[in-house]
Amino acid sequence: MSGNGRQMCPCQCHWDLSWLNFGSTRIAVTDVDGMFCVERRGNFLFIETKCLDEPLTQGQGIMLRELSKIPKMTVVVLYGEKGWPRYIKRIEMGELLPTEDTSRVEFQRRVDDWYRRANALSAPVT
């Protein structure tokens, strides 16, 4: 799906929401191509995936920056070929941070760190 909520993928597996209107504006629903979200004890890891040369659209950027402002929400954009991350962009408090190199091993390390923090932040007080 891409562009104003239209169904564009060859498999036709997404909803076509191009008929939705938001007043008389050009606002349209955004397509989150490969969205993955994990919740652990009220903490969320939100991962948007992109091919190496695929741009982050304006609508996606707005949405991800705003999501990153929500407490307990970690937002990242992962670039690479399917299943093989090469670059990561973190988004913190509405700011898109510089691109960093990554790999499966490095990204797993980051996920492990997030998981430990999520568990520690939500540990019951005894």
pLDDT in tens, 14-49: 677 778 888 888 777 766 666 789 999 999 999 999
Tens of pLDDT along 115-126?
Answer: 999 988 765 554
Asked if residue 4 has pLDDT above 60, the reply is no
Asked if residue 56 has pLDDT above 80, the reply is yes
Asked whether the beta carbons of 6 and 15 are under 8 A apart, the reply is no
Asked if residue 57 has pLDDT above 60, the reply is yes
Domain boundaries, the chain: 1-31, 34-121
pLDDT above 90: percentage of residues in the chain: 57
**Which H or E run contains 65?**
helix 58-67
Asked whether the beta carbons of 69 and 63 are under 8 A apart, the reply is no
| pLDDT, position 126 | 46
CA–CA distance, 60 with 66 (Å, rounded to integer): 10
Mean pLDDT of the chain: 85
> Mean pLDDT lowest for which of 50-59, 83-92, 117-126?
117-126
Asked if residue 8 has pLDDT above 60, the reply is no
CA–CA distance, 52 with 30 (Å, rounded to integer): 20
Contacts of 103-106 spanning 24+ positions with Cβ under 8 A: none
CATH classification of 34-121 is 3.40.1350, yes or no? yes
In our burial notation (b when 16+ CB lie closer than 10 A, e otherwise), range 13-47 reads: eeeeeeeeeeeeeeebbbbbbeeeeeeeeebbbbb
| pLDDT, position 2 | 44
Return the beta strands (E) in 1-126 as ranges.
34-40, 43-50, 73-81, 84-92, 95-96, 100-101
